[in-house]
Structure 1
Amino acid sequence: MHSSHDTHTNAPPSNPLDAAGPAGHAAAATDLAPTHEPSPPADKREVALTILAAIAVIFALQWAEDFFIPLVFGIFIAYTLNPIVAWLERYRVPRVAGASLVMLVLLGSGAMAGATVYREARSIVDELPYTTYKITHAMREVRSSGELSTLDKLRRMADELKKAASPEPAQTTPPAVVKDGQTIPQVVIQQPEKDLDDWLWAGSLSAARFVGQMIMVLFLVFFALVSGDIFKRKLVKLTGPSLSRKKITVQILDDINMSIQKYMFMLLVTNVLLGLLAWVALHLIGLDNPGAWAVATALLHIIPYFGVLIAALAAGVAAFLQFESFSMMLLVIAVTVGISSFVGTLVTTWMTGRIARMNATAVFVALLFGGWLWGVWGLLLCVPVIVVIRVIAQHVDAMQPIAELLSD
């Protein structure tokens, strides 16, 4: 019969590590220590396929720009006008009637603005011969006074360098051929150069193409406003039965809607600021109708780069006709371009970064890429497109690197 002390002494240890002593505890600590396994390297084939797919998408967007530009532009306009239609619907106005009313107001405003611009353009065209004469006469007076002597020297130097760098012109009329005692002149058929009619024809085709795209945009906006949130419900339904996916999809669509509306509000604020600054500057210069020119500058500023140039040249011509001074014309052009550049480059880029919560570098790179991809339309649409991409990337785990690059 064993005593209780012996029983306690001979009992096996409850923890096997106690039997092994300190060495066992050290080995266990080594085994239980967290191990940092290196992440597997990226599959080269997957990376190559991703790069090729991105390049294919980019060139497909460029090749099918006649389809994608009206589509994207119409979607953004529909997002902008949808709150007005929804507000009318809350007052028991049928959605079809509300969408029709909004489109009629939009078309009426566009027609009034177009008629005003047409009258101004028609008056400028009618005065072109007189304007050309006055500009030519003023430049001759400036040359005779010696103010442009340096400019003339630079121009002559450029002409001399061009002549020295270009090869000798080929003989346009070949020598006559004498055959059987008779002189037979050689005939050379030259390709006629493009004249003004060709440029006008090309411009007419571009204008017809623009009108066709605008008609497509208007129809797309109307049908999108009439449909309401039907596409939103369909997208939520296509995500599957998972409730979490449905919530994420609804949140993404709501964030896209809010971001686009904020961006359009930013455009309104910056254009109003540009109009006020232009009005103050032109009023201080003494130009007639500074308010009308300020409104024209603000409206044309929506078209990146080209709109500013058109507004500046038109205001400069008006200044020359009023003051009959070439220096005042250059002053008005410089002031208009300077204010537009300040608002467009600094204020618009900064406000876009604050409202869309994107860094200014990403916005500027988006402008460069949009201009290369779709030209003027790309400059106008690239920022809202990149805002939508950022919103989607924030809610998709696989796109978190893109969201981090675009965020501020």
Structure 2
Amino acid sequence: MPLAIKTVEIKKTSEPVSSPSTPKPPVLARVGPLGPFPLNLISALVVIFTLRWTREVLIPLVIALFISYFLDPIVARMEKRKISRAVGTAVLLTAIVAGIGSAIYGLGDQADAILEQLPAAAKTFSQSLREGRSDREGTLNKVQKAAAEIEKAAAEAANGAAPQGVKPAPAQAARPGLDLRNYLWVGTVGLVGMALQAVMILFLVYFLLVSGDTFRRRLVKMAGPSFAKKRRTLEILDEINLQMKRFLYVQVITSLWMGVALWLAFRWIGLENAGMWGIAAGILKSIPFLGGTAIIGGTALVGYLQFGTLSMSLLIGGVSMGLKSLEGLLVSPLMTSKAGRIHTVWIFVGIFFWGWIWGVWGLLLGIPIIMVAKAVCDRIEGLRPIGELLGDERRAHSSGGNRNVTP
């Protein structure tokens, strides 16, 4: 009997004591039927807005980072030859600025010659168009004349049917002609802004190259005390460095291909200064869309100034368009996709997206930014699905899973 009483007492004491006045803990509401998708969408929109809003600050920083990545191997070789990084960087940047200045000076003489020939070329071009219109009376001209006659008859009928007390509408004032001073002022302000931005980028590149691997060591130190996090940070930095080298390799190869192909084609046609146009094409090729437009328009104009016929101008412009289309739509995307292990579709999507975010600079920086994002996503466990989405499945299967990913 005492044993039974003891058992009952144990059962009573083991039950939790609950009071009706004690409030129950609140139950957290669930995120919703869509899960965390709305929050992720809002976060993505905030990031996109921030990138657009801060582009005046971010663009020089990103350009300086990429240039320092490209020039760091040269400075490292100079350092191995007992040349300090400060002196080697100063010599290298001075040589680059001098080369760009001499190229602009050489192109300036050609531009002056083209500007001197523009009035006569415009007169000849308009005369040839008038002669072409007078020689053939096509269907379009007949339709235009008929439309003009109908419009004239309708206007006369409207004037005749108008009431006596109603006065005709006053003639509109003529629009002012083209004022070149406004365009020159805007262009001068834009050039001054670009010059100041270039100077700022130059100083950023100098200090980044002089610092060497200081930021690299600090990033590894900030990764955390664990050896796995430090190793993962090192792998990300090494992969970014490798991707930048691959991008530079693709740009050099495609620029050489474009310059040599255009030089040979123009030399075969007989265009003057074919070598200079080949060099310009190799440099401007790196700017998507706008660079190709400048090459096609410039070569077509020079061809018309030299040969004086519209057919030769169209031939030279067509050759430039064909080579640029072959390079931009086939050679560069395939080489970039193969070098960066990124699907070709995302190459074009990245160019359009970053062009919308940052304009012309976004067109230029879109591909290396995607390559860096791919390198980061492949090395972080939570971002690996994005890396798989950006990657090319065929090359991923051919590699056999040799990627070293640290969780």
Q: Which residue of 1 aligns with 2:398?
A: none
Aligned pair partner of 2:338 in 311, 330, 354: 354
TM-score (norm 2): 0.78
**Secondary structure of 1:127's aligned partner:** helix
Deviations 1:120-176 (A, max 9, x none): 222212222122122222222333333x9467679x49x98xx9xxxxxxxxxxxxx
| Structure 2 residue 92 is the aligned partner of structure 1 residue 110 | no
Structure 1 distance, partners of 2:353, 2:215, is 29
Map of 1:201-280 to 2, 5 A cutoff?
201-280=185-264
Q: 1:127 to 1:388 in 2, by over 3 A?
A: same
Aligned pair partner of 1:69 in 59, 64, 67: 59
Q: CA deviation at 1:348?
A: 0.4
Matched-pair contact (CA < 8 Å) for 1:300–1:308 = yes
Q: CA deviation at 1:259?
A: 0.6
**Secondary structure of 2:286's aligned partner:** coil
Q: Which residue of 2 aligns with 1:197?
A: 181
Q: Which residue of 2 aligns with 1:91?
A: 81
Structure 2 distance, partners of 1:380, 1:115, is 24
Q: Which runs of 5+ in 2 are unaligned?
A: 1-29, 152-169, 393-407
| Structure 2 residue 117 is the aligned partner of structure 1 residue 127 | yes
Matched-pair contact (CA < 8 Å) for 1:319–1:332 = yes
Structure 1 distance, partners of 2:171, 2:376, is 67
Q: 1:83 to 1:142 in 2, by over 3 A?
A: same
Matched-pair contact (CA < 8 Å) for 2:117–2:305 = no
Q: Which residue of 1 aligns with 2:277?
A: 293
Q: CA deviation at 1:335?
A: 1.1
Which of the pair has more CA radius of gyration? 1
Structure 2 distance, partners of 1:201, 1:52, is 41
Q: Which residue of 2 aligns with 1:340?
A: 324
Structure 2 distance, partners of 1:400, 1:194, is 56
Q: CA deviation at 1:240?
A: 1.2
Structure 2 distance, partners of 1:287, 1:187, is 50
Q: CA deviation at 1:343?
A: 0.3
| Structure 2 residue 63 is the aligned partner of structure 1 residue 79 | no
Residue type of the alignment partner of 1:292:
M
Aligned pair partner of 2:38 in 43, 48, 61: 48
User: Identity, % of aligned pairs?
Assistant: 35
Q: CA deviation at 1:369?
A: 0.4
Aligned pair partner of 1:364 in 348, 356, 370: 348
| Structure 2 residue 382 is the aligned partner of structure 1 residue 398 | yes
Deviations 1:64-90 (A, max 9, x none): 211111111110000000000001111
Q: 1:392 to 1:150 in 2, by over 3 A?
A: farther
Deviations 1:27-46 (A, max 9, x none): xxxxxxxxxxxxx9988563
Q: 1:298 to 1:202 in 2, by over 3 A?
A: same
Q: Which residue of 1 aligns with 2:26?
A: none
Residue type of the alignment partner of 1:197:
R
Q: Which residue of 2 aligns with 1:139?
A: 129
Tell me whether 56-65 or 219-228 shows the greater mean CA deviation: 56-65
Structure 2 distance, partners of 1:339, 1:192, is 41
Q: What is the RMSD computed on CA atoms of the aligned residues? A: 2.7
Q: CA deviation at 1:274?
A: 0.8
Matched-pair contact (CA < 8 Å) for 1:95–1:226 = yes
Residue type of the alignment partner of 2:296:
A
Q: 1:404 to 1:152 in 2, by over 3 A?
A: farther
Q: 1:404 to 1:340 in 2, by over 3 A?
A: same
Aligned pair partner of 1:328 in 312, 317, 325: 312
Residue type of the alignment partner of 2:238:
D
Map of 1:306-317 to 2, 5 A cutoff?
306-317=290-301
